[in-house]
Amino acid sequence: MTVITRFAPSPTGNLHVGNIRAALHNWLWARKSGGSFLLRLDDTDQERSRPEYADAIRADLRWLGLDWDDEQRQSDRFALYEARFEALKAAGHVYPAYETQQELELRRKVLLGRGLAPVYDRAALTLTADQIAAHEAEGRKPHWRFRLDHDRPIVWTDLIRGEQRFDPRLLSDPVIRRADGSWLYMLPSVIDDIDMGVTHVLRGEDHVTNTAAQIQMFSALGAPIPQFAHEALLTGSEGKLSKRLGSLGVAHFREIGLEPMAIVSMLARLGTSMAIEPLADPQPLIDSFDFARFGRAPARFDEGELAHLNQKIVHLLPYATVADRLPSGMDAGAWDVIRPNLETVAQAADWWRIVTGPIEAPAPEDGEFLELAASALSQENFDADIWRTLTDRLKGETGRKGKSLFLPLRRALTGIDHGPDMGQLLPLIGKEEAVRRLSRA
């Protein structure tokens, strides 16, 4: 069997962290299995679907490194849905219902008020020809429901959750088509999965009940049923489902300077028994992907942990992978010096300004000592060991050591109290500029 997975977002908004995680896991499984990963734009809601959102989805996936093997749009497939719908209608698997949304909501409230599950009572199946004619005369158009088979339980083995069992009598017959003829998510998704040969459907656990109904749709259409995997939902760092997670997307991550591999490294293993590691390449994530290691507990997404992971990944990045994002003149040697002090690659520009200047002059202090340092530096051979040579000489001439020796020099040369090893930074600043900074201070 060739594994085929799919990511099927609706282009009605931007991807958020939960969408990204689902896309990533489908991609990882396809790549590990040597199969195909499909991008399917579920754009049946033509009023809310926008080309700019579709473009943003593609751009986000590319930025994350998630390539796809084929792309389809549901809006190109309406003829197929119509044909399959007519076949289901002829076989008695779908039926028209004339209740308004207000009537359905009232029934729902009544059932809840009685302590009963708000399951649709199939009243539409008892309508007489005269009642249907009366509804039509009023101008009512029917919506369409898929008729669940109540005679057998719905059972499947979920790759994450294990055996799942539903009594179809406790489920409402799902609405698959609105009164205006437009499609809801449930049936077109099944038709597409069949037509595209999807073998594995990996998505959030909030779709488990949908899966139960869709399994009967696969059977009604005479198609094999894919394997399903429902992963635990993400929670915020505060320990509960967070609305903020719905607003965290690629645009936010790029704005704060995160590396794509930081997001991929974290989301790939979040909610599994595997350790989250700072990785600069996705291959270890592909190789280690395993449904058996997914847990059932909600997975906690922490932006602070993501920032820390990003910092570790930045420290691993070779010059060649970041050269086009570094300031002009910053070479591989300079990157190696500055990299350990970065949280994001963008911060390299701030450190490079400290190297190239101008820097903000520190408050006047230790003027006599710094004047001596400027004179000593101007006399020394400016080689790779110049910092050690300079500080050893000043230590011998002044008796200073430790903080009283090093801190005034660092402040005068960089304008700040911390940063890269001065033994590596001073050669980047250069002799003439360093003497000038010491003299000015």
* Cβ–Cβ under 8 Å, residues 354 and 416: yes
**What would the two tokens of residue 255 be?**
């704005």
Distance between CA atoms of residues 389 and 375, nearest Å: 13
- 240 among the known binding-site residues? no
Beta strands in 127-170 (DSSP E): 143-146, 154-158, 162-166
Q: Which residue has the tokens 């997307």?
A: 249
Burial of 432 (0-12, 13-18, 19+ CB in 10 A): exposed
Distance between CA atoms of residues 362 and 359, nearest Å: 9
- Largest interatomic CA distance in the chain: 110
β-strand partners of 96? 144
Residue 280 DSSP symbol: S
Handedness of CA 138, 140, 146, 152 (dihedral sign): negative
β-strand partners of 165? 155
* Cβ–Cβ under 8 Å, residues 377 and 435: yes
Distance between CA atoms of residues 429 and 434, nearest Å: 6
Please enumerate, by residue number, every residue annotated as part of a binding site: 243
Binding residues for ATP: 243
